[in-house]
Amino acid sequence: MQTRTIDITTGSREAVHDLTDACRGFLAEVGAGDGLLHVWVPHATAGLAVLETGAGSDDDLLAALRELLPATGPWRHRHGSPGHGRDHVLPALCPPYASVPVVDGAMALGTWQSVCLVDLNGDNPQRRVRLSFLQG
């Protein structure tokens, strides 16, 4: 298995950050053939999603998460900024991992699919993402 970490600045606002180009670069760097790309976010308040970006779906995802996980909810987890409790629930909806098949060095994503980091937590503007390739 080949692996490396990348650092992502998401800032202090809710964000969907497209990791697809970074994933492609990693696969090229390791000379990937057929196998599996595993993407892991080692944070308790961030997750991953595979979705279309740029056509509004990323904004729709953030809007849906705001509705499902309102910052003003009655969260028991209360340290950090208001709404931080919801940030700790996010990984149950957008898990901290994604696995993507790789065929002949390229991710086998659908035409409009992207691998994205989802971060609602304004308290942590820096994120680390681990990319791992398992040759098949």
- Give me the sign of the Cα torsion angle 6, 10, 14, 16: negative
What is the DSSP annotation of 1-47?
Answer: -EEEEEEEE-TTS-EEEE-HHHHHHHHHHTT--SEEEEEE---TTEE
pLDDT in tens, 80-109: 777 789 999 999 999 999 999 999 999 999
Structural domains in the chain plus CATH codes: 2-135 (2.60.120.460)
pLDDT in tens, 35-93: 999 999 999 999 999 999 999 999 999 999 999 999 887 888 878 777 789 999 999 99
Q: Which of 37, 12, 29, 16 is nearest to 107 (CA)?
A: 37
Q: Name the pTM for this structure.
A: 0.94
Phi, psi of 62 (to 5 degrees): -60, -40
